[in-house]
Amino acid sequence: MKAYNKFLAFTKKEENKELLVHSMIALIVRIAGAGSTFLMNVIIARHLGVKESGYFFLAVTIAIIVGTIGRVGADQSVLRFISIYSKEKDWEKVHGVINTLMKWGVWVTSITAIVICIFAGFISTYFFHKPEMKYPLIWIALSVPFFACYNLFGMALQGLRKVFLSVTVLKIIAPIALIILVFVWNPTESTTASMLFFFSSIIAALISFYWWRKDIPNVKGKFDTAILWKSSSSLWVVAIMQQLIIWSGQFIAGVFNTPQELATLAVARNTSVLITFLLAAVGYVSAPRFASMYKENKLTELERYVRNTTRLLIVTSLPIILFMWFFPNFLMSLFGKGFEGGSGYLRVLVLGQFINVATGSVGYLLTMSGHEKDMRNITIINGVLAVVLALILNPIFGAMGSAISTAIAVALSNIMAVGMVKKRLGFNPINILGI
């Protein structure tokens, strides 16, 4: 009864009501996005088989890493500045932010994509020892600029608090488009599947551009590029290091392990990150508010709001975490014959993601409050740690070593961010009891 009364008191507060309602909307759409991604992975794995899907997933991993790095840290800068200036209805600055950062991101990713296409044969044969991956890598490299576009527009829509459109752009359109294209073409080789991935990225980029232009006044944009670069340069390093934390295990497995092991590790990793859709759903709602509350110096409100988001995350994520921990064989078997061996990888990765969710939106909190350099330093330490651990553990334990290295780096990165939030903002974001 006491717990129920506490919950009623929680829901009566206006800010909590907004958090619950908007998070529920984001969660529903994010579940659809997670389901779309999961279904896409299942369909690709079943169409291509273990070996060919191994080439496809490795090529996609490379594209995601390159695409994220090529966005020059613009994702979080777009979110932070558009959150602030859209609330003030300063549309000139909003346009200035997106125009400048989009230009940087598209130029860098386009140049990188061309370089990868030129050296695709060399990368596939001499680095990964998988010459069959050349043409899948070329097609997926070509998708990188479009991937960058729809991610930046998605983050911009999040800054406008267009939660439904943002999540749809970031997580739903491309997977659904790829699923439809796969059913139309019925590919059996990784090259054809990679070509379809390219077309699905174009579709997502076009739709995201349309929604962005439709939702804001059309005025001339202007913003101080020095301010943007100061923020983005630190966040660029964060983006690079976060990719190392997330993907280095998979990347190093691509060098040392067979395509079959690689595919199994990839689907285990992709399944484990479904846990974070709750973190992302709450983040879509809370990140813009973190930025505006901090700018307005409402630190007491910010502390209360952060703790409420963490409570919400822990309560809602536990059932999913427990299901993945106790039924990994069932989940891995969905991908087809030969994938059940990855249930151990899944359990290890789930532990790392549990810490990620239980610590709350600490990464967003640091970057939205202007402490990009602290986040940069944390991710540098853990990015290097992830690579070193994978290089040590993979030769000893095989793909399991890569899973362990990723889980440790993910968990430690979030624990360190919690400590930095306490130091910079003066409160403990995981003290959900308020003691």
Name the more confident of 126 and 251. Answer: 126
pLDDT of 283 strictly over 60? yes
Q: What are phi and psi of 308, to 5 degrees?
A: -65, -40
Q: How confident is the model at residue 8 (pLDDT cuts 50, 70, 90)?
A: very low
Q: How confident is the model at residue 92 (pLDDT cuts 50, 70, 90)?
A: confident
Q: How far apart are CA 133 and CA 119, in angstroms?
A: 12
Mean per-residue pLDDT of the chain: 83
pLDDT of 254 strictly over 90? no
pLDDT of 376 strictly over 80? yes
Q: How confident is the model at residue 5 (pLDDT cuts 50, 70, 90)?
A: very low
Neighbours of 81 (CB within 10 A): 25
pLDDT given at position 299: 85
Q: Is the dihedral of CA 276, 155, 182, 190 positive or negative?
A: negative
Joined together, the tokens standing for residue 231 give: 């923020």
| Overall average pLDDT of the 225-254 stretch | 80
pLDDT of 433 strictly over 50? no
pLDDT of 6 strictly over 70? no
Q: Is the dihedral of CA 260, 262, 268, 270 positive or negative?
A: negative
Q: How far apart are CA 184 and CA 162, in angstroms?
A: 32
The answer to whether the beta carbons of residues 357 and 316 sit under 8 Å apart is no
Q: How far apart are CA 410 and CA 403, in angstroms?
A: 11
Q: How far apart are CA 403 and CA 400, in angstroms?
A: 5
Q: Could you tell me if residue 412 is left (phi over 0), alpha (psi between -120 and 50 degrees) or otherwise beta?
A: alpha
Neighbours of 3 (CB within 10 A): 7
Q: Worst-scoring range by mean pLDDT, 65-69, 100-104, 297-301?
A: 65-69
**Tens of pLDDT along 338-353?**
787 888 999 999 999 8
Please give the C-alpha separations between residue 39 and each of 16, 32, 42, 226, in angstroms, as whole numbers.
Answer: 33, 10, 5, 42
Name the more confident of 270 and 154. Answer: 154
pLDDT of 3 strictly over 50? no
Joined together, the tokens standing for residue 241 give: 């290091």
Neighbours of 5 (CB within 10 A): 9
Joined together, the tokens standing for residue 201 give: 């990225």
Neighbours of 414 (CB within 10 A): 23
The answer to whether the beta carbons of residues 75 and 375 sit under 8 Å apart is no
pLDDT given at position 173: 92
The answer to whether the beta carbons of residues 145 and 71 sit under 8 Å apart is no
Q: Which residues contact 172 (CB under 8 A, 6 or more apart)?
A: 29, 32, 33, 36
The answer to whether the beta carbons of residues 271 and 38 sit under 8 Å apart is yes
User: Residues of the chain with pLDDT > 70: what percent?
Assistant: 90
Radius of gyration of the chain (CA): 21
pLDDT of 287 strictly over 80? no
The SS3 assignment for 435 reads coil
pLDDT given at position 78: 83
Joined together, the tokens standing for residue 210 give: 């349309």
Q: How confident is the model at residue 277 (pLDDT cuts 50, 70, 90)?
A: low
435: buried, middle or exposed (CB in 10 Å: 19+, 13-18, 0-12)?
A: exposed
Q: How far apart are CA 403 and CA 417, in angstroms?
A: 22
Q: Worst-scoring range by mean pLDDT, 14-23, 43-52, 53-62, 258-267?
A: 14-23
| Overall average pLDDT of the 106-117 stretch | 91
